[in-house]
Structure 1
């Protein structure tokens, strides 16, 4: 009885998943400029239900079952749509039709197996019904957010493969023209690397970011440890005034920094960046590490001192290994 219930649940999940994915891919095709689009809910529902049922046939093994369900599901999807899914001829536009078919079927198989994993549906009581329903909504929500997050990146990549004239003509067109060949598609990247010397900017950004992180961590670790563990005059005031710099908007410091850096001839130089960036990141790093260091047991450091470690040795061998989560977040 449980097998029949799982099969029925797989039919329902598969049909819903395939229908939703078909609509989503159809909307993306509309944005890509492919018209007219026609969504066959009947074909999506039938193929989704059969694909969901096939994904539960696990006698051949896990991997073989997934592969067979994807292959047969794709074939069923094409047959039920008369080999023209979304009213797109498979021969004329295999990328849009074929890729969409694979995405719909793979999403259907994944959502079906994910929703039914760990649920036997033997008694079909309230607990199993709630778990089953929650997984369906979780899958739908996950799919929705994946599309929202992935779409800007997909749009960015597609627009980078277009010419400036094509972008100005129709910015929402997500289709890619292969008429000019690979050289035409990569023309923008070639211009960036050759004409605008983009590799130099990447190298400078890498040096500045790595150097800023190194300076910030070096100073913030020592500073936060000093404020937390050492006793010296003004320690409490210093620990409370770490974030005072953030009381002033960054725009207020632009003119003074420009004037000072001009007099010191540090404008348009890496040294100037290595001064400004750590100055803006140090307060937050000090504040975060100070809070974490205060939670570490002081007895561990005292034991290290008894065993012969110096203060820096204690920081290197005891404090830093225990503080890796906080350091990585900085």
Structure 2
């Protein structure tokens, strides 16, 4: 827009090669490429279309939890009960199916149980707003898994193999190559990405995470938003439980252990800050596949799970440190020049 003085005012930012190269997502892409090169080098079984698609099945169950976890972290909160929600949802799925419910109804019940667990988290945090989300979800983590263990004790519930189409949710492929679960995940990821970066709800999440008081006085209904996000986390815990049950053909109270840490780790590695207000959904998705293929590649050469944990731990520490050093300084310099 040109004024009387002839000066042109533009709201569009010019492309900056320096800023692009030092984006966290660019760095993740470079690491992702390096991981794949390493995997190809150490195992001749790695580089095949079927093998790579099969690899996605090993980590996409957890990846479903990263979708709502991005939202939870974006508003500056955390949910460490999602793994237990997966366990309880899967147990209820098995119990309802073996009680005579048709499988389709059991699936709806499982998802509903997950959503109710998330709703409970949201209601507690909204009602007692002075409570820390980590402490509350730690309590519900124990509660949900405790209920699952009371229902089944140390037993498993199964019989899912009698419904042939159910196992195909995890093992089935479109065209004999692309897993059904992969396609479902891609559709869900696109929806979450659009909501996070292109919707009013997404802009409000960034505002709440950046400054909750300012967001409150600007008219954002924060309690309603928190309840929606935590319920969404529970809903996808139920969906995750369905895929896990389809994979195993049974359900046990101990499934989903550690899923919450994996989901949070993927989000953090992807650049979603734990104190809220900053993050890129694409970065989180790159991190999902980076960690997933890294673990798959190391597994092909029989690297122990303990070493994998060390490698993932180092990556997460690095992910937390680097933005506060190189990338943080660049952001500060850019801010000072505006």
Q: Normalized against structure 1, the TM-score is what?
A: 0.27
Larger radius of gyration: 1
